Amino acid sequence: MGSFLENVVNQRFRKVFNELERLNLIKGKSDIAKKLGTYNHVINSILKGQRNITVDQLNKLFDIYGLDANFVFGLSDDMFLAGIPGRDDIQTRPLGERSWGGRQNITLVPNRALAGYALEHQDSGFMDDLPKFSLPSMDGKLLAFEISGDSMYPTITNGDIVVCEQLERNDPLRDNHVYVIVTDVVVAKRIQQMKDEVSGPQLRLISDNNTVYKPYEVDLTDIRQILKVKCRLTSHAIS
């Protein structure tokens, strides 16, 4: 339970909940639970530090109330992107059509959208529907992926978000650095460049949790996209 209580995202959610109640933008736990597509007892557990808020719930929170993702991740003291959203704005403007300001240059691919991203990352309609946010000193068009599982533990933990820069096909790669590799799946791995006499150029994908997850090779021709990991957002407290 202690790790949930120390989770900065959960701490910021409690502040958001209290502020939305103060502004009469929500009417208690049942109201916000309905808007986030969950249940009253789930919201109660998050507020008590008994579980983590999910990325899907955060996406809805950002979109419905115009929250600044930087605030939720503990990187800013400004809760809202463009002041306090009005009640009429929330009720009458549909999802995806609100403009809260800010440069919003990072596209977030939550865990539930990873399979779709592998197939449709070149579809502008698919990408436009994904949530956007910004971070200090992170310029340019970037992508962020929610990591599921423990294959890169302890470097990247379950639920972390890695912010990445897309590489072009001929951009140089650095062995033993962490990249996001997109084939028919999306994975974060360390890489080693190899050349198989039969298959041609390959990348060996290496997990940091290598006692459980063994390295494996993929052909360069099977790779749809390579992204360089620039930073990691984590909700785990420093011990």
Please tell me whether residues 25 and 115 are part of one structural domain: no
Residue 239 inside a domain? The answer is no
Please check the confidence at residue 237 and state whether its pLDDT lies above 60.
no
Residues of the domain holding 188: 106-233
Per-residue pLDDT reduced to its tens digit, 128-170: 888 888 876 788 899 999 998 999 998 998 888 999 999 998 8
Number of domains present in the structure of the chain: 2
Average the pLDDT over 215-227 and give the result: 95
> Is residue 128 located within the same domain as residue 210?
yes
Same domain, 25 and 60: yes
Q: Which of 32-36, 63-67, 78-82, 201-205 has the lowest mean pLDDT?
A: 78-82
Residues 115 and 80 in one domain: no
CATH number of domain containing 14: 1.10.260
Pair 33, 139 in one domain: no
- What mean pLDDT comes out for the span 234-238? 59
What is the pLDDT, as a whole number, of residue 170? Answer: 87
Choose between 220 and 92: higher pLDDT: 220
Do residues 41 and 147 both lie within one domain? no
Whether residue 72 sits in one domain with residue 149: no
What CATH number does residue 142 fall under?
Answer: 2.10.109.10
Q: Per-residue pLDDT tens for 33-62?
A: 999 999 999 999 999 888 888 877 888 888
Same structural domain for residues 16 and 127? no
Q: Which of 92, 117, 132 is the C-terminal boundary of a domain? A: 92
Q: Is the pTM of this model over 0.75?
A: no
Q: Are residues 27 and 136 in the same domain?
A: no
What percent of the chain shows pLDDT beyond 90? Answer: 50
* pLDDT in the model for residue 82: 60
Residue with tokens 């962490």: 178
Q: Which is more confidently placed, 104 or 33?
A: 33
Cβ–Cβ under 8 Å, residues 105 and 165: no
